Structure 1
Amino acid sequence: MSFKIAIIGAGSVGFTKKLFTDILCVPEFRDVEFALTDLSEHNLGMIKAILDRVVEANRLPTRVTATTDRRKALEGARYVISCVRVGGLEAYADDIRIPLKYGIDQCVGDTICAGGILYGQRNIPVILDFCKDIREVAATGAKFLNYANPMAMNTWAAIEYGKVDTVGLCHGVQHGAEQIAEVLGAKSRNELDYVCSGINHQTWFIDLRLNGRKIGKDELVAAFEAHPVYSQQEKLRIDVLKRFGVYSTESNGHLSEYLPWYRKRPDEITRWIDMSDWIHGETGGYLRYSTETRNWFETEYPQFLEAASKPIDPTKRSNEHASHILEALETNRVYRGHFNVKNNGVITNLPQDAIIESPGFVDRFGINMAAGITLPEACAATCMASINVQRMSVHAAISGDIDLLKLAVLHDPLVGAVSTPEEVWQMVDEMVVAQAAWLPQYAHAIPAAKERLSKSAVKTREWAGAARRNVRSIEELRAEKAALKQAG
């Protein structure tokens, strides 16, 4: 088979390499062309050198091109994959820093909450530009695979306003299933069957079967509480399991941001999180991790280039959805996964226009969702709170309506649990002014926001958060990796 795959934001080097090698694990895809595009020529050069090394080492006819001209990369593409982070780490730092001044402590801040909503405002105009290019220069009927967060908002905008065939992809379901299989003592994850449904980052394992035997709440709670590691790392997640009766896909730190109960008081935050790794609830944890990862890659690039010389091992193909979707669409080998699409009746007790994440099957006819799923009422109620925020956020990003943006932030569950309306109004003004370079739709609102900030009497504080860690140096990272290697 010979067709073209364009990857936007290909400078996300590690993830791009994973997608690339996964796709090349499919024998029929040896002749595929990969067109890489990114704003950074530096990053593009690094990732192209790595992928060229993979092609050379495996003696493949695969073609890899790289350009900062996005339309050129998209010309004739049958599939377009996006893994962009609009504003990079500079804007992301403001997503964490500014809300902290108003008492809002986020672990990740890329889905909803104050940081995720502003992230969506930066992303959506760019997503619509991608969609325009796809409609105009990509292959007829090209499919857009969005990996970028905020997943639901980006996918909502691409489908509703971009008018492009879009699916949102995430790996939270797979990771949650791996945990469940482990605590239940499964010899392999293939022994576990499940139905997982909801919205991205709030997806729920509503039916679990281990070798065909149904697993209930009490058995699952006991299994997690008996696990020597997860019982400490996933305290909040286990508490939600006890109260809701079903396990969430999302990590302890991520889940804590979407609920109004666990991160609203500093003393409560430290009770529920675990500091063994950023993902379990550390303040600004993903920002720290992303910064360290970037610095590590820049410094240790020769090692990454050398590792690219190893043969591709199909047995190590990852469980990221993209390669499996392409394989099913092109070869008709059916694939079952969990996909972010417009609801349209798939989940009976969520709105029709919402972007849901739920099981589906892929073959030559496309992505076919399993319809008629009803969530437990508590799960649906929690999802609804986020959906309402997402809808307002998308509409604000499209219209440039700063008042609607403020209402979206005000209605966010965690923000509403922590901040007053006056604080929210000032915080949004401050975030929009700080990120003006990436918010063209709010250009008309920036002068008035600056004027309001100059006269505001709302008090803020300089606060690092309840559980903040400093970015580690390259030397510290090397020492830690060496210690882990020595330990086993």
Structure 2
Amino acid sequence: MSLKVVIIGGGSSYTPEILEGLIQRQPTFPVSEIVLVDVEEGREKVETICQLGNRMIEEAKVNIKLTWTLDRRSALQGADFVSTQIRVGGLAARAQDERIPLKHGLIGQETNGAGGIMKAFRTIPVLMEVAEEVNELCPDAWMINFTNPAGMVTEALLNHSAHKKVIGVCNIPFNMRHSTAELLQVPPEDVLIRFIGLNHFVFGDRVYVDGKDRTEDVFQKLIQKEFDYSPANIMPLDWSETFIKSTKLLPNPYHQYYFQSETVLEKDLKAYEENGTRAEIVQELEASLFELYKQESLREKPEELEKRGGAFYSQVACSLMDSIYNNKEDIQTVNTWNHGTIPELPYDAVIEANCVITKNGPKPITIGKIPAPMRGMIQNMKAMEELVIKASISGDYEDAYNAFLVNPLIQDEKKAKVVLDELIEAHKDYLPQFNR
């Protein structure tokens, strides 16, 4: 059986990684056609990626047809899997998401706080259009979304578009598993972390190695500060012994924004003054990556890509597609409907959880109640996400303001309005719903 994979946002610097993953899985996931899709602004990048990809395919001696196009509808015809990795407004928009909150003394980050909300406002309407086209042109295709904020985007598509075969992925659980394996000096495939929470706000409450509970060993290593498991785009900060012992939860790197806010803001402001925003640093990194990609001698994914910060997203996406296609019934951590998995959250909310992956999609493994220390925080985050999704679709200013107001990284009624107004103005070309 032949398989067609369409990559929306094919001009992304991450694409060589997903191409590598598809090439490596050819024996079990027999992709015959890959189409890279982008917009006019990304024409040069997607063409460069396609040329590199074809050299990778030639080097691997596999039979895959790789093309690129700006015509999304034609690309979607006959697709079996559609991955989405877009950035509406590009890195220039991300820079505004970081710069404007920082100017007002708030954390500026692309998927959290005010910046994350604005990314959702720009992204959700576009991916809603994509989902409707998928439902029309290739209704049996699975949409694998790793466009941030992945949890909110996935919930918007599942609950507000006609297409229901949508799964969100993130590299944070993958990184946590691998880093925990490194910490315990065991193979990553032997490690299972029981996750509970939401995308970028997920905790590990138990760690198992070959079925044996090693949670306390991990906590002791963290207390002793024996390693750092932050991805490249998030600065590492230590967790106190009191935090680990009291919560009895394994935090993810994004939690520093919520539980070490003052320290993060101080460091971010210093870094901003010295080097500009993270987006501007990434722009320089991407420029150097694309110079590498253009070299005709390059016939594999370069190691430099791992510095980009979102490394291994694509490995997660490829593993998920492989498991669906082969009905592997293995366990992976994805973003999908709650459906009672966490009783304190709405039934149709999207959570990030361990799931059994089948040909019919993910089946969440029952978790039980949220641990008491984080119950209120997780419920508040979900309420905020619901408001963000509502505003993304309605374009109603009051909906947007409410989302800002209850976000834990804002929660100031005056700053919420000032920052919201500046960000809406800065991104007005990408927010048609707010400019009707």
Q: Mark yes or no: TM-score above 0.5.
A: yes
Of 284, 293, 301, which residue of structure 1 is paired with 2:285?
Answer: 293
Report how far residue 283 of structure 1 moved. 9.5
State how far apart, in whole Å, the 2-side matches of 1:177 and 1:239 are: 23
Q: 1:131 to 1:216 in 2, by over 3 A?
A: closer
Given residue 428 of structure 1, which amino acid in structure 2 is its aligned partner? L
Report how far residue 192 of structure 1 moved. 2.5
Unaligned runs of 5+ residues in structure 2 are 230-234, 302-311
Map 1:56-71; keep pairs closer than 5 Å. 56-71=58-73
Report how far residue 288 of structure 1 moved. 4.1
Match of 2:208 in 1: 209
Given residue 133 of structure 1, which amino acid in structure 2 is its aligned partner? E
CA deviation string 1:263-289 (max 9, x = no partner): 2x4x67458x9x9x99xxx99764244
Please say if residues 17 and 314 of structure 2, whose CA atoms lie closer than 8 Å, have aligned partners that are also in contact.
Answer: no
Match of 2:198 in 1: 199
Map 1:267-278; keep pairs closer than 5 Å. 269-270=265-266
Please say if residues 170 and 320 of structure 1, whose CA atoms lie closer than 8 Å, have aligned partners that are also in contact.
Answer: no
Map 1:383-422; keep pairs closer than 5 Å. 383-416=378-411, 420-422=412-414
Given residue 418 of structure 2, which amino acid in structure 1 is its aligned partner? Q
State how far apart, in whole Å, the 2-side matches of 1:211 and 1:387 are: 33
SS in 2 for 1:306: coil
1:156 aligns with 2:151: no
Unaligned runs of 5+ residues in structure 1 are 311-316, 445-488
SS in 2 for 1:341: strand
- Across the aligned residues of Structure 1 and Structure 2, the Cα RMSD in angstroms comes to 2.8
Q: 1:196 to 1:62 in 2, by over 3 A?
A: same
CA deviation string 1:379-406 (max 9, x = no partner): 3322112111110011011111011101
State how far apart, in whole Å, the 1-side matches of 2:55 and 2:278 are: 30
State how far apart, in whole Å, the 2-side matches of 1:31 and 1:214 are: 38
Q: 1:238 to 1:147 in 2, by over 3 A?
A: farther
Map 1:175-186; keep pairs closer than 5 Å. 175-184=175-184, 186=185
State how far apart, in whole Å, the 1-side matches of 2:127 and 2:105 are: 31
State how far apart, in whole Å, the 1-side matches of 2:388 and 2:17 are: 31
The percent identity for this pair of structures is 25
SS in 2 for 1:300: helix
Match of 2:309 in 1: none
Match of 1:99 in 2: 101
Task: Give the total of aligned pairs.
Answer: 417
SS in 1 for 2:410: helix
Q: 1:367 to 1:115 in 2, by over 3 A?
A: same
Of 210, 222, 225, which residue of structure 2 is paired with 1:224?
Answer: 222
State how far apart, in whole Å, the 1-side matches of 2:290 and 2:16 are: 15
State how far apart, in whole Å, the 1-side matches of 2:180 and 2:350 are: 25
Of 336, 340, 343, which residue of structure 2 is paired with 1:345?
Answer: 340
Report how far residue 301 of structure 1 moved. 3.1
Match of 1:430 in 2: 422
Please say if residues 3 and 77 of structure 1, whose CA atoms lie closer than 8 Å, have aligned partners that are also in contact.
Answer: yes
Q: 1:289 to 1:386 in 2, by over 3 A?
A: farther
Report how far residue 159 of structure 1 moved. 0.7
Match of 1:85 in 2: 87
Given residue 403 of structure 1, which amino acid in structure 2 is its aligned partner? E
State how far apart, in whole Å, the 2-side matches of 1:270 and 1:181 are: 31
Given residue 415 of structure 2, which amino acid in structure 1 is its aligned partner? E
Given residue 173 of structure 2, which amino acid in structure 1 is its aligned partner? V
CA deviation string 1:142-164 (max 9, x = no partner): 11100000111111111111121
CA deviation string 1:219-252 (max 9, x = no partner): 433212334443993314866433311112x21x
State how far apart, in whole Å, the 2-side matches of 1:355 and 1:182 are: 30
State how far apart, in whole Å, the 2-side matches of 1:353 and 1:401 are: 23
Please say if residues 99 and 115 of structure 1, whose CA atoms lie closer than 8 Å, have aligned partners that are also in contact.
Answer: yes
Report how far residue 49 of structure 1 moved. 0.1
TM-score normalised by L of structure 2: 0.88
Given residue 358 of structure 2, which amino acid in structure 1 is its aligned partner? D
1:241 aligns with 2:232: no
Please say if residues 134 and 141 of structure 2, whose CA atoms lie closer than 8 Å, have aligned partners that are also in contact.
Answer: yes
Report how far residue 425 of structure 1 moved. 1.1
Larger Rg over CA atoms: 1
Given residue 172 of structure 2, which amino acid in structure 1 is its aligned partner? G
State how far apart, in whole Å, the 2-side matches of 1:215 and 1:52 are: 44
Q: 1:237 to 1:358 in 2, by over 3 A?
A: farther
Please say if residues 324 and 360 of structure 2, whose CA atoms lie closer than 8 Å, have aligned partners that are also in contact.
Answer: yes
State how far apart, in whole Å, the 1-side matches of 2:393 and 2:322 are: 34
